Amino acid sequence: MSAQLSTTDFPPLKNDLIIRAAKGESVDRVPIWIMRQAGRYLPEFREMRSKQSFFELVQNPQLACEVTMMPINRFDLDAAIIFSDILVIPQALGMVVEMLPSKGPSFPSPLIVPADLAKLNKDCDVKKELGYVFEAITLTRHTLQGRVPLIGFSGAPWTLMSYMIEGGGSNTQSKAKAWLYKYPEESHELLKILTNVIIDYLVEQVCAGAQLLQVFESHAGCLDHTLFVKFALPYIRVISKRVRDKLKERKVACVPMIIFAKDGHFVLEELSQSHYEVIGLDWTIKPQQARRICGDTLTFQGNLDPCALYASKDDLTKMAKDMLSKFGYKNYIANLGHGIYPDIDPENVKHLVDQVHKISQEMIQKDQTTTN
């Protein structure tokens, strides 16, 4: 069905707040979306998940579209993010990835030694292997009817590499980090393979209809400054440049790009010089400090602690007000400092979204009244 839909004749966009904020343009309220908003905390998602495996949902464009729309139909969010997973890229490279109950992602045959790189489908056809994501994006763009923009995303090379070597989640990433010390050349080889696939993947997402892109460097905090600058940063920078270059070659308009490096406060200066319009911040850094490091021209995204959504509505209002007072309403996209947790009450999500809108509108109107 979605394969027959146009990728050029989309419904006109009615709410472009997040795109304007990403570009540093004026807004009449602060836009907000929530990482992992399409999924596990919503009862309607859990009901759907009880009938299909996680990757069955991801790989079915109609169901992925349906899940993407769930939070949009519930809350006054300013963006949708396509329902997918960063680990579709290792799958495209030929690795088996399972999503196990109470454990999360699992690789039955992780990369153990450099010789295992020979098993990877290094020249995979992204359009063939990940076509279901692009179909889901196109279908969702039409289904949204221009209500809000659609965000596409990918994991960053180091984060994907760490999953592929660890075989799943890890608190220390010690197996993956061991590669950086023991096999630096082969580590760069793997990171280059991943980078090439990520670039093609992101380009195809835009061509399919994605209006913003986010790159998740979820395991940034496991590296020290030296390792990050050597093994993560160069590829993050190559991605932002080559995605734009390839879109221009195809005469497709570039879209704003967001880099989110979890626990990456120690490389904020370097990230601010990596040609992303938006830097996502987790809750471990003060907004004012980030602004001093990065300057006034970049847009920030974040950074409420996901656990704040366990608080009372009154306290949540206070925290939203505090966050907005520290970030200001210019060059800012409200979000959590990481993904939402599975047992969060959806009513608290609604309250946060509504309060960010209400408080930021009042801030802007007050400033405009004072200026006039």
Name the one residue in this structure whose structure tokens are 């200001």: 328
DSSP class of residue 157? H
Of the candidates 29, 36, 141, 147, the residue annotated as catalytic is 36
Cβ-contact 161, 214 below 8 angstroms: no
Active site residue 40: yes
Active site residue 141: no
Residue 330 phi, psi dihedral angles, 5° rounding:
-95, 140
d(CA 208, CA 153): 13
AA letter at 7: T
**Which tokens hold the place of 187?**
């580590």
Of the candidates 20, 49, 237, 291, the residue annotated as catalytic is 49
Interacting residues of 176 by C-beta distance below 8 A, sequence separation 6+: 161, 162, 165, 166, 170, 219, 222
Of the candidates 31, 30, 48, which has an alpha carbon nearest to the alpha carbon of residue 39?
48
Active site residue 85: yes
Active site residue 237: no
Active site residue 78: no
Of the candidates 40, 237, 242, 291, the residue annotated as catalytic is 40
Name the one residue in this structure whose structure tokens are 């799943």: 168
Of the candidates 16, 78, 85, 263, the residue annotated as catalytic is 85
Of the candidates 16, 41, 147, 163, the residue annotated as catalytic is 163
Helices (H), 53-130: 54-58, 61-74, 88-92, 126-129
For the chain, helix, strand, coil in percent to 5 are: 55, 10, 35
Catalytically active residues are 36, 40, 49, 85, 163
